[in-house]
Structure 1
Amino acid sequence: MLILQNISYIHPNKDLLFDNINLSVNRHDKVALIGNNGTGKSTLLSIIAGKLMPSAGQFNVATEPYYVPQIFGQYNDLTIAQALRIDAKLEALKEILEGNVTENNLSLLNDDWTIEERCSEALSYWQLTDLELTQKMETLSGGQKTKVFLAGIAIHQPDFILLDEPSNHLDTAGRQLLYDFIRSTASTLMIVSHDRELLNLLDVVCELSKRGITVYGGNYDFYAMQKQIENNALNQDVKSKEKAFRKAKEKERETLERQQKLDARGKKKQEKAGIATIMMNTLRNNAEKSTAKIKNVHAEKIGGISQELHELRSALPGIDKMKFGFDNSALHKGKVLFRATDINFQYNSQLLWKENLNIQISSGERISLKGVNGSGKTTLIKIILGKLDPQVGEVYRADNKSVYIDQDYSLIDNALKVYDQAQQFNLTRLQEHEIKIRLNRFLFTKEYWDKPCSALSGGEKMRLMLCCLTISNQSPDIIILDEPTNNLDIQNIEILRNAINEYQGTLIVVSHDDYFLEEINIERTVKL
């Protein structure tokens, strides 16, 4: 179905994205393409879809792939029918049914007499019955745009399908429809995703990294198990290399001490024997050359081991180093932080909730907030944070420090540079070198410090947000996360999970990612 041979891609600014990519995908395979942000997953999918040309190499696709992109802004000026490339066919059918049976209309229709029925059935399956095919794409939400392109699969019935983060904007019901489709389809699939539930439905995991593509013959759980084995082996290699490094340093010290003793003994003998000064100088020079040679031999050996050790350490995942490190001493488990009694909110004289809400939040709880779009999740969050007051009912808020982290990481000021952003959270007046140590711990090395925050990816902004919270060192009573795993790769999701699981305060999470919610030990769910 697909063969990639030595595919490389270089950005227009001459930066190399990936090099010598080789991969074969067989008919009916269901393949996951995963990798850290910035490795080129979406670019590789665009090349396979024919939207981009590779800088080098060649590829062969047995049939034209059907491509669902991650970003849909380029379709905003088109109607749904135009975006799905069925507008000409629908117009031809309409004209034929009105009696305009021209050769051009018949050619455009190409005997596809069921196109209207398939469109209706496809939109119905994806819960889009209220949409018209003549409607502009710009009027749709992110979830609706994704569903429109997913509906196009049933309309076009392709043999090869490329999906780029298809579950990103889908609610729980939409995700379930997507999972059912993936289970049942006989088409060949290649999917870029960080949704672990989705990834477990696929047969093969391909990991894209700087080393190329590594293929794991199994679903995501199998891949994770294999990666753990690899990381364990890597840790063992690091320990062995560290031991070899210590031994080499010890050997160098012992050899030099032995040589120095021999030189000193030889010098005494020469002095006793009354050897001429000129001869003594020659012998001393020879001894110094011998010592220098020994030093060079050991330095070369130690340098080689040190380089190997550095490379091994660089390959180690840095996830465990990235923790909040909060001072949790001020948190009192069980204290009532928020209580709402029969509350409701009005928009345009219309009550938001059919029934008034009653909810209590205590310190240390882990709560999932769920509901379809428009159910009032954002409004309830604003009421909890004290940014809105309900028009109906009563609210009690204890004095508390809360942090709201939205999908766009709005707490990060895009106008600031990375180091200056970190300084904004330096409430305890840490020294400059201490801030830079913390930035390094969250993978912001020296070349990032003067980089504008606007240039950071979603995953990088998330890591900077975590780093800034550690610099503040004041544990908030409440952390609210709004769709935290959207736009994050798997590595950054794991970093976020580890940091959250170390946090001891109250956690409120809006998310459709049930796998993630389970991993962060959510205790109860509030459904709106």
Structure 2
Amino acid sequence: MTNPLLALESATVVLPDGRTLFSALDYAFDQRPTALVGRNGVGKSVLARVLAGQLPLTTGRCLRSGSVHYLPQQIDQAAHASVAALAGVAAPLAALAQIEAGSADPVHFDTLAERWNLRRELHSELALAGLAHLRAETPAQTLSGGEAMRVALVGAQLSAADFLILDEPSNHLDRPNRLALLAQLQRWPRGLLVISHDRQLLQGMSHTLELSPSGLRSYGGGYAFYAQCKAEERAAAVAQLEQRKTERRREELALREQRERQERRQANGNREAREANQAKILLGLRKDRSEDSAGKLRLQQAQRREIVSERVREAAQQVEKAASVTLHAQGAATPAQRRVAQLDAVDLPFVAPALRRIDLLLGGRQRIAVSGPNGCGKSTLLKVLAGLLPPLRGTRQAWLRPAYLDQHLAGLDPQQSTLQQLTAANHSAGEDVLRTYLAQLDLDAQRILLPSGLLSGGERLKAALACALYADPPAQWLLLDEPGNHLDLASLQALEAMLQQYPGALAVVSHDEAFLDRLGLTHRLQATAQGWRMEAYDAVSLP
């Protein structure tokens, strides 16, 4: 391993409410491109800010042998006046301009710090990042979210930091921007830590770290190797758990047989004593000894049961909760030949002319990926299909009831619990049945009683799907807009499992090709320069 650039020694963070987020972490980060994965809420972003020096540890140390450049999940474009400011080079570029205008002020030379080619380097890096159309003076607020992230990465490249930390850099990026980001990171020559649930991006890393309540665990290789290791670990843990359960059953059988033998001996002894016509005092003494022996046996057996039960509990703790969900089909599946919805000569609002006109017929078993660059009109199309937005012209028809889930799950009331909202949507099923359905979606019995605004992203998505699919009557086709945003890997896998089981028509907008490939899609509706194009779904070859 190369020399460490960052090191944690007994690193512990205790939150203001007294909860320990992570404790006693020991790890040395080197120059290998490293992915950091883990469940939502486990502390990945906090750890990133600790490594960057933005948050203090409660106890322990974070050692840095070089400079660290950190980019958070959200780039605050409003805080920067221009592309140069967003890239962190506005001051030295202003100093360079003053010097070129004839200034001899030493402050300007100190600010520039011998970076005489900075203007050329900025333009060169912008071009390499696919942003050649931008200039140093371009207002930052005119950039898209993807462009802002890539400009910030250009600034990191120009900073020549020893270590770069990125927190969910591909969120909301379309496929071209994701590929540009990956190419940009592959050119990064120094230490790199990426927090992400984007499996394509994770696969581009040479090393994977997992943060869990038990600490930091290191895996060599990218996401595919990590996933294989996790599957093997879980299989071994499940086998160990089954072995411990078998041992407990055998032990319980042995204890029962031991107890029955003692009871038989005790009954035989009592019978023999009565037949021998022993004195009452001797019978009493014998009974006391027998009860004392039985009491000792019960205590010994209780201790042995606790030992084998503890072994089962320990084995169960090693079995990570699987992304296992069961989706109940409400009513018969829609026949493939049945029409679900149709757009006839529809002009979409708020969409560029090339993509404004669309004709679309959605059938009962059709499962469509809606793909295209940011801002092309994918979300608008889903809203028109759902009947939430009227077309400029043309007709929209729907023969079955849809469910539309936008990126922010606006249809879910953050003040009401999941159970309250599902009960309101379905008066015919009893609460016990609805609770069972929610439990089979892996929603905790206590958390379905909390206001849905307090739930995690994955929990809220499952709650919204439950309210649509288990309503009375249920939704018979789904329109999903970026459903995987902000979900951790386990929640993404659970969502994939749910949608694989869904028997109806489906249209989903997502830039995560790995996610789309697992949904059993039949078609792709692609936004192109010539308009919308429908084609058979073919998995995208990922680098």
Place the TM-score, normalised by the shorter chain, in its bin.
Answer: over 0.9
Q: Which residue of 2 aligns with 1:345?
A: 348
Q: Which residue of 2 aligns with 1:358?
A: 359
Letter in structure 2 aligned against 1:492: S
Query: Which deviates the most, 154-163 or 502-511?
Result: 154-163
Asked whether 1:174 is paired with 2:173, we answer no
Aligned residues of 2:182 and 2:201 also touching (Cα < 8 A): yes
Aligned residues of 1:326 and 1:475 also touching (Cα < 8 A): no
Q: Which residue of 2 aligns with 1:18?
A: 22
| 1:246 aligned residue (223, 245, 249) | 249
Aligned residues of 1:241 and 1:305 also touching (Cα < 8 A): yes
Q: How far apart are the structure 2 equivalents of 1:82 and 1:182?
A: 21
Q: Which residue of 2 aligns with 1:165?
A: 168
Q: Which residue of 2 aligns with 1:381?
A: 382
1:13 match: secondary structure: coil
Aligned residues of 1:204 and 1:217 also touching (Cα < 8 A): yes
Specify whether residues 409 and 391 from structure 1 end up closer, same or farther in structure 2 by C-alpha distance, changes over 3 A only.
closer
Q: Which residue of 2 aligns with 1:272?
A: 275
Asked whether 1:415 is paired with 2:419, we answer no
1:76 match: secondary structure: helix
Superposition RMSD in Å:
2.3
Aligned residues of 1:328 and 1:504 also touching (Cα < 8 A): no
Q: How far apart are the structure 2 equivalents of 1:466 and 1:355?
A: 30
Provide TM-score, normalisation by structure 1.
0.92
- Residue 355 of structure 1 deviates from its aligned partner by 6.6
Query: Which deviates the most, 232-241 or 402-411?
Result: 402-411
2:271 match: secondary structure: helix
Asked whether 1:513 is paired with 2:517, we answer no
Q: How far apart are the structure 2 equivalents of 1:117 and 1:225?
A: 45
Aligned length: 522
Cα deviation 1:359-416 (Å, max 9, x = unaligned): 2211111111112233221221122112233333344x24212111222222321011
Asked whether 1:256 is paired with 2:259, we answer yes
| 2:66 aligned residue (59, 63, 68) | 63
Cα deviation 1:207-229 (Å, max 9, x = unaligned): 11011011111111111111111
Cα deviation 1:102-157 (Å, max 9, x = unaligned): 11111111011122222223333334455554566555443233222122123223
Asked whether 1:294 is paired with 2:293, we answer no
Aligned residues of 2:50 and 2:62 also touching (Cα < 8 A): no
2:79 match: secondary structure: coil
Provide TM-score, normalisation by structure 2.
0.90
Letter in structure 2 aligned against 1:202: M
- Residue 507 of structure 1 deviates from its aligned partner by 1.2
Cα deviation 1:248-297 (Å, max 9, x = unaligned): 22122211111111111111111122222232222212212211221222
Q: How far apart are the structure 2 equivalents of 1:427 and 1:372?
A: 42
Specify whether residues 478 and 212 from structure 1 end up closer, same or farther in structure 2 by C-alpha distance, changes over 3 A only.
same
- Residue 479 of structure 1 deviates from its aligned partner by 0.9
Aligned residues of 1:476 and 1:505 also touching (Cα < 8 A): no
Q: How far apart are the structure 2 equivalents of 1:290 and 1:213?
A: 50
Q: How far apart are the structure 2 equivalents of 1:351 and 1:190?
A: 38
- Residue 305 of structure 1 deviates from its aligned partner by 2.3
Q: Which residue of 2 aligns with 1:452?
A: 451
Letter in structure 2 aligned against 1:165: E
Q: How far apart are the structure 2 equivalents of 1:261 and 1:91?
A: 97
Q: How far apart are the structure 2 equivalents of 1:315 and 1:463?
A: 25
Q: How far apart are the structure 2 equivalents of 1:514 and 1:139?
A: 28
Specify whether residues 448 and 355 from structure 1 end up closer, same or farther in structure 2 by C-alpha distance, changes over 3 A only.
closer
Q: How far apart are the structure 2 equivalents of 1:24 and 1:245?
A: 41
Specify whether residues 415 and 463 from structure 1 end up closer, same or farther in structure 2 by C-alpha distance, changes over 3 A only.
same
Aligned residues of 1:7 and 1:21 also touching (Cα < 8 A): yes
Query: Which deviates the most, 39-48 or 454-463?
Result: 454-463
Query: Which deviates the most, 484-493 or 419-428?
Result: 419-428
Q: How far apart are the structure 2 equivalents of 1:61 and 1:442?
A: 44
Q: Which runs of 5 or more residues in structure 2 are unaligned?
A: 528-543
Q: How far apart are the structure 1 equivalents of 2:153 and 2:331?
A: 46
Query: Which deviates the most, 177-186 or 34-43?
Result: 177-186
Asked whether 1:5 is paired with 2:4, we answer no
Q: Which residue of 1 aligns with 2:490?
A: 491
Specify whether residues 387 and 437 from structure 1 end up closer, same or farther in structure 2 by C-alpha distance, changes over 3 A only.
closer
Q: Which residue of 1 aligns with 2:158?
A: 155
Aligned residues of 2:379 and 2:509 also touching (Cα < 8 A): no
- Residue 506 of structure 1 deviates from its aligned partner by 0.9
